[in-house]
Amino acid sequence: MLPAMFKPRAFAASFSLVPTEGFFPRSGKGRLAVMNSTSGASTLVEPGTGQTNGIQRLTIIQPDDWHLHLRDGDGLNAVAPLSAGIFRRAIIMPNLKPPVTDLAAALAYRDRIMKALPSNAEFEPLMTLYLTDVTTRKDVKDASESGLVKAVKLYPAGATTNSQAGVTDLFGKCLPVLEEMVEQGLPLLVHGEVADQMVDIFDREKVFIETVLTPLRQKLPDLKIVLEHITTEDAVKYVESNSDGKVAATVTPQHLLMNRNALFQGGLQPHNYCLPVLKRETHRRALVAAVTSGSSRFFLGTDSAPHERHTKEAPCGCAGIFSAPIALPLYAEVFDQADALDKLEGFTSLNGPDFYGLPRNSNTTTLVKKRWNVPTEYGFGPGTVVPMWAGHALNWNIE
Return residues touching ligand NCD (CB under 6 A). Answer: 69, 95, 160-161, 191, 274-275, 303, 305, 319-320
7 catalytic, yes or no?
A: no
Q: Pick from 97, 120, 122, 119: which is nearest to 109 by CA? A: 97
Decide if 158 contacts 123 (C-beta within 8 A): no
Options 7, 65, 150, 191, the catalytic residue = 191
Give residues in contact with Zn ion (CB under 5 A). 160, 191, 303
Cβ proximity to Zn ion, 195 vs 340, nearer residue: 195
CB of 27 to Zn ion, least distance (A): 28
The residue annotated as part of the active site, out of 7, 102, 150, 153, is 153
- Do residues 48 and 342 touch, judged by C-beta distance below 8 A? no
Q: What is the dihedral of CA 298, 292, 346, 325, to 10 degrees?
A: 80
Terminal-to-terminal C-alpha distance of the chain: 30
Q: Decide if 369 is catalytic.
A: no
- Burial label for 331, CB within 10 Å (0-12, 13-18, 19+), is buried
Judge whether 153 counts as a catalytic residue.
Answer: yes
Task: Dump strand ranges (E) for 45-144.
Answer: 57-61, 65-68, 89-92, 124-130
Q: Is 366 exposed, middle or buried (0-12, 13-18, 19+ CB in 10 A)?
A: exposed
Nearest approach in angstroms of CB 49 to ligand NCD is: 31
Alpha carbon 158 to chain centroid, angstroms: 20
Contact between residue 374 and residue 364 where contact means Cβ atoms under 8 Å apart: no
By beta-carbon proximity to ligand NCD, the closer residue of 7 and 229 is 229
Q: Which is nearer to ligand NCD, 191 or 343 (CB)?
A: 191
Specify burial of residue 33 (Cβ count, 10 A radius: 0-12, 13-18, 19+): middle
Q: Which of 67, 307, 312, 343 is catalytic?
A: 67
Shortest separation between residue 114's beta carbon and ligand NCD, angstroms: 21
3 state SS of 177: helix
**191 catalytic, yes or no?**
yes
Q: Which are the contacts of 49, defined by CB distance < 8 A and separation ≥ 6?
A: 339, 340, 342, 343
Q: How far is the CB of 228 from ligand NCD (least distance, A)?
A: 7
At closest approach, how far in Å is the CB of 283 from ligand NCD? 16
- Cβ–Cβ < 8 Å for 231, 276: yes
CB 208, min distance to Zn ion, A: 11
Residue with smaller CB distance to ligand NCD, 205 or 234: 205
Residue 39 interacting partner from Zn ion, ligand NCD, none (CB closer than 5 to 8 Å by kind): none
Q: Spot the catalytic one: 69, 206, 255, 271.
A: 69
Q: Per the residue annotation, which of 102, 139, 303, 339 is the catalytic one?
A: 303
Q: Which listed option, Zn ion, ligand NCD, none, makes contact with residue 223 (CB within 5 to 8 Å by class)? A: none
**Based on CB atoms, which residue is closest to ligand NCD, 230 or 236?**
230
Of 267, 286, 373, nearest to 46 (Cα)? Answer: 286
Q: Is 229 a catalytic residue?
A: yes
Q: Which of the following is catalytic: 229, 279, 343, 369?
A: 229
Provide the greatest CA pair distance for the chain. 60
Decide whether 95 or 361 has the Cβ nearer to ligand NCD.
95
Residue 343's binding partner, choosing from Zn ion, ligand NCD, none, with beta-carbon cut-off 5 to 8 A by kind? none
What is the C-alpha separation between 82 and 162, in angstroms, rounded? 23
C-beta separation of 188 from 224 below 8 A: yes
Q: Which of Zn ion, ligand NCD, none lies near 361, with the C-beta cut-off 5 to 8 A by kind? A: none
Minimum distance, C-beta of residue 257 to ligand NCD, in the bound complex (Å): 15
Any catalytic annotation for residue 69?
A: yes
Is the Cβ of residue 55 or residue 96 nearer to ligand NCD in the bound state? 96
Catalytic positions, written as ranges: 67, 69, 153, 191, 229, 303
